[in-house]
Homo-oligomer: A and B are copies of this chain.
């Protein structure tokens, strides 16, 4: 069987604990890259594709949350598990806002960690059947390249998109002609759902509408209280 092992980035400054954990995960068929601090962790993250990150919160130079934020800027999807020394409430909350998938209090049971990892990987696998690695879309007479973040009209000059513009348009395109729930965009892109993020999203919808104006067969419709719909009319000739 050709099954590729899952790759885990482990960032943990305590050398003993880190090594033990790395070995334990390795024994359980994960490929582990072990970084000893936040700096190193970020360097290694950039150099490879990981299926999961396990970050210690308390670290010198760069703590786990800061690292997580940097990681999120590069990749909005990798699952992140935080290791915290104690059950600090604020820490926990902060973690969730960065898009943490779970957190564990040290010391923890290694088998529990394994189960969590499994659960997360599984969820990931289920989630991303639909919206997996799709970065190029045809939207009427536009081409959206979501990886390079540009939008081109009729093969002309590509227009640069900001990260948020890009992600939002991509989400809409993934749900082309279908409902893209407000909540989905808010949780996926803004990672928080409140009055302000909601208004912020509306601002971005307005921006996108402006971008898309050149093609009259493309429009973003609102479904009151539900979300938005990117409609592409295939005009018959």
Contact = CB atoms under 8 A, between A and B. Distances in A.
Contact of A111 (B93, B125, B224): B93
Number of copies: 2
Interface stretch (A7-15, A35-43, A54-62, A181-189): A181-189
A225 B73 CA distance: 34
A111 B89 contact: yes
A27 interface: no
A115 B92 contact: yes
Contacts of A123: 123, 127
Given A109-B87, A125-B184, A126-B187, A226 B115 contact: no
Interface residues of A, number: 39
A2 B188 CA distance: 22
Interface of A: 2-3, 87, 89, 92-93, 96, 101, 109, 111-112, 115, 118-119, 122-123, 125-127, 129-130, 147-149, 162-163, 175, 178-179, 181, 183-184, 187-188, 223-226, 229
